[in-house]
Amino acid sequence: MQGKKILIIGASSGIGKETAITLAEEGADLVLMSRNLKKLNEVVSLCKKGNHRVFSVDVTDENALIQALTESIKTDGKPYDGFVYSAGMEATIPAKLLKKDFLQRVLDVNTIPIILISNFLLKKGNYSSSGASFVFVSSVMGHLGQPAKTAYCMSKHAIVGITKSLALELAPKKIRVNCVSPGMVKTEMSLEILESISEENVQQIESMHPLGIGMPKDVANAIEFLLSDKSSWITGIDLYVDGGYSAH
């Protein structure tokens, strides 16, 4: 990863934050984006020194997103070698209560920006002439179902489909596209969920992960592998990083 320029969307917390720290340790130069500038600066303070930059941007604001991406290229003139999409919102609500506006919001955060950002990176000079690697964070819910998770599952299933389609379309450009599907990982978002449910439900969730609930580092290591040259003959895959959840 030494000297590679990597874009991480959703880098202020959870898996995105840990991915930034992991990649910086391996020598990558990072461009970190999320809404919370203060948290982004805190992440940079935890990273090994490098040519790191941060941008405060809401991924649902297309104009602001493209402007930030454009600025991230102009600042150093260096194209991207990799792109990680780790932004997302939790969505637990019974299907009978779902409204169109909420469904659109979930897609606007969890899914649609992946395509918008990918399209930007495909423009001439925005990605490395030697190729690039895109890695998107889906979920085991991108394959499985769970009560009250219809909206969330919809968005994460879509990421898997996007991954496979883009992998085929971008292979001639030497761009690899993969995604990871984590199980329950101890992030700020998941801990809030665990704190809001009964101890019995918590134990049930834990029992569904034979290796226990994961840590952000477990997923960050998988993302690093898919970004690196060690996975140079891998594209179009969805890598389960779920402690055995999907083996049930």
Q: How many other CB atoms sit within 10 Å of the CB of residue 200?
A: 7
Question: Under a CB-based contact definition with an 8 Å cutoff, are residues 183 and 242 in contact?
Answer: yes
Distance (Å, rounded) from C-alpha 140 to C-alpha 242?
7
Burial-class residue 192 by CB neighbours within 10 Å (0-12, 13-18, 19+).
exposed
Catalytic site includes residue 152: yes
User: Which one of 80, 85, 152, 240 is the catalytic residue?
Assistant: 152
Three state DSSP letters for 96-112: HHCCHHHHHHHHHHHCH
Catalytic residue numbers, as ranges: 152
